Amino acid sequence: MTPAAVPPFTESAFTLTLALLVLAPLAIAGVALINTGLGRSRSAAQSLLGSLSMISVAVIGFALIGATFADATAPGHIFHLSGKPWNWAGTGSLLLGGLGAAPARAQLSVLFEFLAVALMALIPWGSGADRWRLPAGIASTAILAVVVFPLLTHWVWGGGWLAQLGINFSLGAGFLDGGGAATVHVLGGLCALSVVWIAGPRKGKFPKEGLSTAMPGHNAVYVLFGCLIALVGWLA
């Protein structure tokens, strides 16, 4: 199957894409507000501080090392299996070297990946509300941003082995990641599930065997406002 030709990237397309990327951080802010509103009032400050910390660590870690593995401009690390090439990791420069000379499409792709890794980092942080310590969250985010997210990004968005399924096994267009469903939401959701499994229930949730205590979110306004803000960012 012959891959579809990539349309030319015009100035109008660049301007529209950049404008949408400017709105995309609203999704990150919305998720941070949702996490805060769904937690206890005594944990609101920690939730917001943790959100800023997770975003910062994710962006810095991805910029320093992670973007190297996610790079889609170079051929990448390839191994051969059953006579077919499988691209498993990028071979970009450390510290985003050479990004200034890259094509406009590649620069916008890296900017989008920054937003995606920040959003992904907030999903497990929200699942561990009231019981996940900040140092543990930062350490987990660093691993995700430096290794796990970049590799999955390269496999799906960077022409890696998942994207090559269409060519290697004649499976149409290969693996398609609609709206970052795999690289952002599935990865973040699996990490959130791991956090819940390891951290366990909140203290006081099950005071007696067979009984549970309701722990509603402390601020429904944060949740509603966060949903509206996140909606705008997700659409962008």
User: Residue ranges per domain, the chain?
Assistant: 53-213
Question: For residue range 33-80, what is the model confidence (pLDDT) as tens digits?
Answer: 999 999 888 888 999 999 999 999 999 999 999 988 888 777 777 777
CA 200 to chain centre: 24
pLDDT at residue 150 in the model: 92
Any residues with CB less than 8 A from the CB of 86 and at least 6 apart, and which? 78, 79, 80, 161, 164, 168
pLDDT greater than 90 at residue 144: yes
- The model carries a pTM of 0.86
pLDDT greater than 80 at residue 81: no
pLDDT at residue 1 in the model: 43
Residue 82: what residue type? Answer: S
Q: What is the CATH number of domain 53-213?
A: 1.10.3430.10
Can you tell me the distance from the alpha carbon of 51 to that of 180, in angstroms, rounded to the nearest whole number? 20
Lowest-confidence range among 145-154, 158-167, 189-198?
A: 158-167
- 31 exposed, middle or buried (CB, 10 Å; 0-12, 13-18, 19+)? buried
pLDDT greater than 50 at residue 181: yes
Question: For residue range 103-139, what is the model confidence (pLDDT) as tens digits?
Answer: 888 888 889 999 999 999 999 998 888 888 899 999 9
Question: For residue range 86-102, what is the model confidence (pLDDT) as tens digits?
Answer: 777 788 788 888 887 77
